Structure 1
Amino acid sequence: MFTGIVEHIGEVELFTKQDDGNYTLTIVKASPVLGDAHIGDSIAVNGTCLTVTWFDGDSFTVGLIPETLRRTNLGSLTKGTKVNLERAVGGDVRFGGHYVQGHVDTVCTIVGAQAEENAINYSFELRDKEYIDYIVEKGFICLDGTSLTVTFVDYDKSQFGISMIKHTQENVVMPLKHLGDAVNVEVDVMGKLIKKQVGLYMEREVSGKLEQMINSIVDKKLGSLKQ
């Protein structure tokens, strides 16, 4: 579990495909998140929860699977690319962001970036349109591992926006990106849970009422035949 409060910006050193078909990603300039690291720990890279397979004082390596590459922007990383880093939360961490799983749902592209005094107003368009159903104005969203507040939603265009304060701009990778670049998206898990529960409830209700209706019709037909 993560908070969406980026701890440090690291740098991609190596992205490779192994002989067995698996992929590995090595991040350098990452010492601030490695002081208490262990093999098997979770570190979010651009909001993607990944398992540490090797580390030293300044760098670490994680493994990637095809599902991760399909869902995220990690497959497009090249040597020198900056990435957001956050360690999994411990029991003594103040929860400054929101509940982030590190399970990226999809990616979006940056379609607008407009300065407003010391803020930057970003707008994005989802690659997988169905995830717009989980995004609400003033709700939480996690973009490249950064916990942010949604400022607007256009459900017809599958677009949404956020506004980024100066402090956040100086501590995350978003301002280094350009229009058209891909950004990892994790929607608020509460929205997914609520939609699932409502869907199951409605399915049971409709199914139950339909069964009652059919039984009632059958009973009436049988009753008329007996007469």
Structure 2
Amino acid sequence: MFTGIVEVVGKVVKLEQLDTSVSGGNGVSLTISGAESILPDCHIGDSISINGTCLTVTEFDSNNFKVGIAPETLRRTNLGLLTTGSKVNLERAMASGFRFGGHFVQGHVDTTAKIVSIEPEGNSLWFRFRVAQPEDEEPLMQYIINKGFIAIDGTSLTVNKVDYESSEFSIMLISHSQDNTIMTTLKVGDKVNIEVDMLGKYVGNIVHNSLNHKESNGLSRLDELVDSAIQKHLKNN
């Protein structure tokens, strides 16, 4: 579990193809440098979020650490687009006993989004994103709401505008976040990792299952509600 508060910006210094017999496909390993501030309490097997993706530390020293990335993670995230020299947002797994500054972030990326526009306003920046909808999955835009939480490349941000027809949303990035994340290194057309608010997903799943569960009469709760509304309408007319 993470908070979406980026601790440090690291840099990719090495990419390697993983042994397919181990990874089960075309996985890769990443070695990240510039992470000395988050490694003093690191252990093999610990979780570190890289651009909002929860990954497992397999090797580390005082400044660098290494993780393996499975094929499914490469398909779901923007990590496959990283190259040597790419900057990445880093955050350790949340520790108990500390203030919780962001929101509940699992590090399980839902999809990617493309940057549509970047516009300045004062010392802040407006970013507009178009969300990619994964095939055969529930529409993700339903979980993105105005003034709700969203994690973009692992950064906890507030949604300020939503356009459901175009599958787009906007956030305003304050100067502190500009200085302490990778957001200002990005440009229009770049892809970012998106994790929608998990609480919204849980609620949506409960409501969906409740409404669509078939009773012994073969009807779902949704069917019964629609039938009741029709009967009420016919009775009143």
TM-score, normalized by length of structure 2? Answer: 0.86
Which residue is equivalent to 1:166?
175
1:210 offset after TM fit, Å? 4.4
Q: Match of 2:50?
A: 45
CA distance in structure 1 between the partners assigned to 2:97 and 2:60 by the alignment: 24
| Alignment match of 1:133 (pick from 103, 120, 142) | 142
Pick aligned residue for 1:203 from 205, 209, 212: 212
How far apart, in 2, do the equivalents of 1:169 and 1:93 lie? 24
Task: Indicate the percent of aligned positions where both proteins have the same amino acid.
Answer: 50
**Aligned positions of 1:54-203 closer than 5 A:** 54-128=59-133, 130-203=139-212
Q: Which runs of 4+ in 1 moved over 4 A?
A: 208-213
Deviations 1:194-215 (A, max 9, x none): 11100111113x64564599xx
Question: Aligned partners of 2:81 and 2:219: how far apart in 1?
Answer: 51
Shift of 1:93: 2.2
Q: Deviations over 1:2-34 (max 9, x none)?
A: 000000000001121123343211101111111
Larger radius of gyration: 1
**1:42 partner letter:** S
AA in 2 matched with 1:179: V
Unaligned runs of 5+ residues in structure 1 are: 214-227
> 2: distance between equivalents of 1:173 and 1:30?
14
Tell me which residue corresponds to 2:10.
10
**Unaligned runs of at least 5 residues, structure 2:** 224-237
- Amino acid corresponding to residue 113 of structure 1 in structure 2: I
Aligned residues: 212
Structure 1 pair 159–211 and aligned structure 2 pair: CA distance change class (3 A) = closer
CA distance in 2, matches of 1:211, 1:61: 52
Equivalent residue, structure 2, for 1:216: none
Distance 1:69 1:202 in 2: 34
**TM-aligned CA deviation for residue 92 of structure 1:** 2.2
TM-score using structure 1 length = 0.90
Residue in structure 2 matched with residue 218 of structure 1 by the alignment: none
TM-superposed CA distance for 1:94, in Å, is 1.1
Offset at 1:191? 1.0
- 1:154-180: CA deviations, max 9, x gaps? 001000010011011100001100000
The CA deviation string for residues 61-111 of structure 1, in whole angstroms up to 9 with x for no partner, is 001101100110000000110000000011122100000000000000100
* Matched residue SS, 1:40: coil
